[in-house]
């Protein structure tokens, strides 16, 4: 499942801003037949970024 978790937050000395996350959730059936969350991945790339910014993020720049 892929979802957008939308939230606003003020962290430390920063002003309140959008901290929404693009989230991927992976589920599996447990031994009892119920669905269980097996994996969750989230990143802040809700709003698209250009190739140069993606490359800078990859370099941790």
Q: Mean pLDDT of residues grouped by 10 in the chain (61 residues)?
A: 92 87 96 97 84 82 62
Q: Which residues are bridge partners to 27 per DSSP?
A: 37
Domain range summary for the chain, segments of one domain joined by +: 2-58
Q: What is the pLDDT of residue 61?
A: 62
Q: What is the pLDDT of residue 19?
A: 84
Q: Is 46 helix (H, G, I), strand (E, B) or coil?
A: coil
What's this model's pTM, rounded to 2 decimal places? Answer: 0.64
Q: What is the pLDDT of residue 45?
A: 78
For 12, residues 6+ apart whose C-beta sits below 8 A from its C-beta are none
């Amino acid at each position: 499942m892929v979802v957008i978790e939308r939230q606003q937050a003020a962290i430390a000395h920063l002003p309140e801003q959008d901290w929404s996350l693009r989230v991927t959730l992976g589920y599996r059936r447990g031994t009892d037949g119920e669905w269980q969350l097996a994996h969750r991945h989230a990143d802040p790339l809700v709003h698209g970024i250009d190739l140069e910014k993606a490359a800078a993020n990859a370099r941790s720049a």
